[in-house]
Amino acid sequence: MSQDLWRDHADEIAREIRNHRYERSDSGLLLTRMGAFIGGAMKVRDYRRGHQQTVAIAANTLLNEGLNHLLNVGFPPTGGYAQITQWYLAPYKGNYTPDPTLTAAQFPAVAEEFTAYTATQRPALVIPRLATARSTGNTGNEAVFVLAAGGPYNLYGCVVVSSSAKGSVSGVGMAAVPFDHPRLNMAGGDKLGIEYVLTAADAG
């Protein structure tokens, strides 16, 4: 399968998902007949009191509305389809297990969005270059959350959404990622650095 998996096989991917010929895993979708995988992962860096304590990789759950967006961009319906050009990261404080039916509209209440950080809006997922090896993301441009004064704060995960405003119930949700372990008892001034990578690749 070529590196341009999504461009060259958008119609086939759409047909396989539409006909439910896939297996869902914690990190994405396995299109068994195509031998292809679509999924993502998040690297989480924990900076407490100015010192990096842990670096961990957490697998995502791709959300149905995000998958539909990818399909509509790669294989647009007659009349065209508006592509989302910027994504954002939003942490959550609820002990929530991601479900693929979660939507951007439900996220703030269902997962209990965490908003006690110094930035005035959700940090952008800054993607520095075009995908050339079947993956894309903000590697080398991690989004950094500086926690606001107060606490202790408990963080359980993060979502990728298309709306920038804290607490927004608009837009599209792409992925939800439970951290490999909860970040407990964080305090004002602590930081959390997040990188997210989405991959479409041959599963062989």
Residue pLDDT, tens place only, 66-124: 888 887 887 888 888 999 999 999 999 999 999 989 999 999 999 999 999 999 999 99
Question: How many domains are contained in the chain?
Answer: 1
Residues of the chain with pLDDT > 70, as a percent, come to: 77
Strand partners, 153: 186
Domain that holds residue 171: 40-198
Average pLDDT over every residue of 45-57:
82
Lowest-confidence segment of 12-21, 144-153, 166-175, 187-196 by average pLDDT: 12-21
Nearest to 203 by CA among 40, 36, 59: 36
Residue 24's pLDDT band (boundaries 50, 70, 90)?
Answer: low
pLDDT in tens, 126-168: 988 877 667 778 888 899 999 999 989 999 999 999 999 999 9
Residue 180's pLDDT band (boundaries 50, 70, 90)?
Answer: confident
In a domain, residue 150? The reply is: yes
In a domain, residue 113? The reply is: yes
What is the residue type of 178?
Answer: P
In a domain, residue 3? The reply is: no
In a domain, residue 22? The reply is: no
Rounded Cα gap, residues 89 and 142, in angstroms: 10
In a domain, residue 9? The reply is: no
DSSP state of 119: S
In a domain, residue 4? The reply is: no
In a domain, residue 20? The reply is: no
Average pLDDT over every residue of 26-40:
53
What is the residue type of 61?
Answer: T
pLDDT above 50: residue 3: no
In a domain, residue 72? The reply is: yes
Whether a cis peptide bond, with omega within 30° of 0, leads into 152 is: yes
The chain-wide mean pLDDT, for the chain, equals 81
